[in-house]
Structure 1
């Protein structure tokens, strides 16, 4: 049995955090002894870890400016400070501080994996948690391999960091059966009206999610006479900004911020269209979950969406770019036609099969086994 440690910043309500829990919960316990280390505790996803997954919390809560504080110390010092036990494989499951810490490992028999979830575009963004680009490149070159969640993220990473070790693409793990089962739960706190076309977005209320853009688009649809209602599942610092846009456009009755919910699936399943309005993504967990629930997807052209939905809009609508007008046009196509919505509902269910839990977990386990045989 191989000992594996996954290191992540925290287990709060984000896509990467959720899919890490999904992955470790489903790995073969006869082959892998799994530990998750969260640098900072208090995350809502901690409760969903299975009891046989060890959880290490380094600090009870996040400290403001923690990445700047960590940069005062070398990766080698940080590794020795945080990681006391020995492992066969150590995975940095997010960009940033966890990658810097794990790269400080000097154990010759320990394999290191860096897991990249988002497109970073440029050196400044990619090196934010490092002292400079030189240090970042040195750190990433110490990993035995890098895993990216989509082909787009892989190309983006390699354009910034020319590492020589293998870079793989492995899709995120979703609890497909559980998602469909939870979607059957009744919704007793929201009244979904049959005469409204229901749109839904899911994610932290942060700038990169573009929910302010979606609020303005919703107002345009209402002004044009469409009976639409948009729901947002998530919480974050952009709430006040979004609420102000909604109020200024007189859409408070048809644009609802639901906040964070532990079971988002029962809300998504009741809607007609899933919207991704992001300006940056890795491989959207929320969009994948919408496909699993058979909800048609309209999305901006961010990382992973063409892989997910096809280059010619075969399984959903990917608009040209991330701009407001293009997303509005794409949504208008879907909102305007019941026939198109029904077409993409069937296509969503068809596409979801490639993201089955069994397939994604199996691919990860094969990679780990290959590494231990020195084949990676």
Structure 2
């Protein structure tokens, strides 16, 4: 039987939950059944070496690589139309964000960036049976690729981001199937764009329990030195507004002042690094709260924790929560809008209220209540969180 031709696209393979999910997908695809091209706009990122042998990595395209470059670098490369439109998009996105008092105007800047540079980007000549856009936005597969079917992924909670809805709706109209990574993620999207209900489905991030456990044993978390009587908290995530790490730092100060002997380690990087470091200094937490930066393999750090904490303001689907459960950890998560699609309260995680007070109460209870901790650990160890069978849902979309 002739193989179907599939294109999968994303920006790069920098450290992140979406990128780990993409590697999980690439590892599960049936390459006897599909001929897969992988289009990364930029050939970079700590997970780049994790690309399995199955897909064919397409050459980097200089026009699309600009979406991982600064405007000044684009101008230096003499891609003047792209530099001009990106500058204009940044200005409009920032202005729109200020006008609406948006907490994270970056989404608007990205949206306008794609909309305004679109006329200057090249089309792909090769035709595919299916083109899959793994990371928003999806103008590339919607406008620049010949494909019988276009499938676009949603990884975020639409109730917590602000976009130009008219432009966003127009983009999704060019997509045949919309994939959300959780039911709640789907619901928040459809609350804003109900017209797309008929073509929206849920496919969870594909995780291999075996791979995660192997990676957890592959290295040591050298920065974490266990001290008798001291509780080690770990969080993995981008240093951004969404992850609530500023709240976590303030909660840590309160917990230490209450007499809790703990250390809190954060694995990740992002735009708020300098602000978070400044907050740590202001609250005199240099010996209690640690930003460890990028780690290609975060699993040894999760494994080294006594409690895994996800203090997010919002999430689409936090891969790290499931990874911590796979590694048998008691988990504290804030009650962000999609939290109940991630865990069952007091069954395989403790769901606490959002914000500083909620984080304090959640961590405090997890430390003070050994029976709860043992129950959560027992339950997560008894559960099989690997979900490789999710790939069958994607096959159905491709074949339908």
When normalised by structure 2's length, the TM-score is 0.82
What residue in structure 2 maps to residue 72 of structure 1? 116
How many angstroms apart in 2 are the aligned matches of 1:166 and 1:305?
Answer: 24
Residue 360 of structure 1, aligned match among 386, 390, 395: 390
Counterpart pick for 1:174 among 207, 213, 236: 207
Q: Does 2:139 align with 1:100? A: yes
Partners of 2:127 and 2:145 within 8 A in 1: no
Q: Quick one: distance in 1 between partners of 2:124 and 2:131?
A: 10
State the partner residue of 2:69: 63
Shift of residue 314, structure 1, vs aligned partner: 2.1
Equivalents in 1 of 2:116, 2:289: separation in Å?
45
Deviation at 1:69, TM superposition (A): 4.7
Give the total of aligned pairs. Answer: 354
Matches within 5 A, 1:315-354: 315-320=348-353, 322-351=354-383, 353=384
Could you report, residue by residue, the CA deviation over 1:12-49 in whole angstroms, capped at 9, with x for unpaired residues?
Answer: 11111110111012211111122221223322222110
TM-superposed CA distance for 1:136, in Å, is 2.4
SS at match of 1:125: coil
Q: Does structure 1 residue 254 correspond to structure 2 residue 288?
A: yes
Distance in 2 (CA, whole Å) between partners of 1:247 and 1:289 is: 30
1:272/1:341 contact within 8 Å kept = no
Query: What SS class does the counterpart of residue 275 from structure 2 fall into?
Result: helix
Map of 1:111 onto structure 2: 149
**For 1:157, what is the secondary structure of its paired residue?**
helix
Rounded to whole Å, the distance in 2 between the matches of 1:74 and 1:328 is 46
Residue 292 of structure 2 aligns to a residue whose secondary structure is strand
Equivalent pair of 2:5/2:128 in contact (CA under 8 Å)? yes
C-alpha separation in 2, matches of 1:318 and 1:181: 28
Q: Separation in 2 of the partners of 1:42 and 1:356?
A: 28
Contact kept in structure 2, 1:58 and 1:82, CA below 8 Å: no
**Equivalent-residue separation in structure 2 for 1:120 and 1:29 (angstroms):** 33
Alignment of 1:7-156 (within 5 A): 7-56=9-58, 57-59=60-62, 60=65, 62-64=68-70, 66=86, 67=110, 68-74=112-118, 78=121, 81-96=122-137, 99-104=138-143, 107=146, 110-121=148-159, 125-127=162-164, 133-156=165-188
SS of 1:72's partner is helix
Give unpaired runs (5+ residues) of structure 1: 128-132, 372-376
Counterparts of 1:21 and 1:166 in 2: how far apart (Å)? 25
Local SS of the residue matching 2:13: coil
In the aligned structure 2, how far is the partner of 1:157 from the partner of 1:140? 11
Deviations 1:128-182 (A, max 9, x none): xxxxx33321221232211101111111111222225421111101232111012
CA distance in 2, matches of 1:198, 1:69: 41
Superposition deviation, residue 188 in structure 1: 3.5
Measured after TM superposition, the shift of residue 211 of structure 1 is 0.9
What aligned pairs does 1:179-258 form with structure 2 within 5 A after superposition?
A: 179-184=212-217, 185-258=219-292
State how far apart, in whole Å, the 2-side matches of 1:106 and 1:21 are.
Answer: 22
Between the aligned partners of 1:237 and 1:244, the Cα distance in structure 2 is 13
- Alpha-carbon shift at residue 192 of structure 1 (Å): 2.2
> RMSD value over aligned CA atoms?
2.2
Q: For residue 334 of structure 2, what is the aligned residue in structure 1? A: 300
Query: 1-10 vs 208-217, which deviates more?
Result: 1-10
Q: Is the 8 A contact 2:234 2:264 kept in 1?
A: yes
Aligned partners of 1:357, 1:84: CA distance in 2, in Å? 35
**Mapping of 1:266-277 within 5 angstroms?**
266-277=300-311
SS at match of 2:179: strand
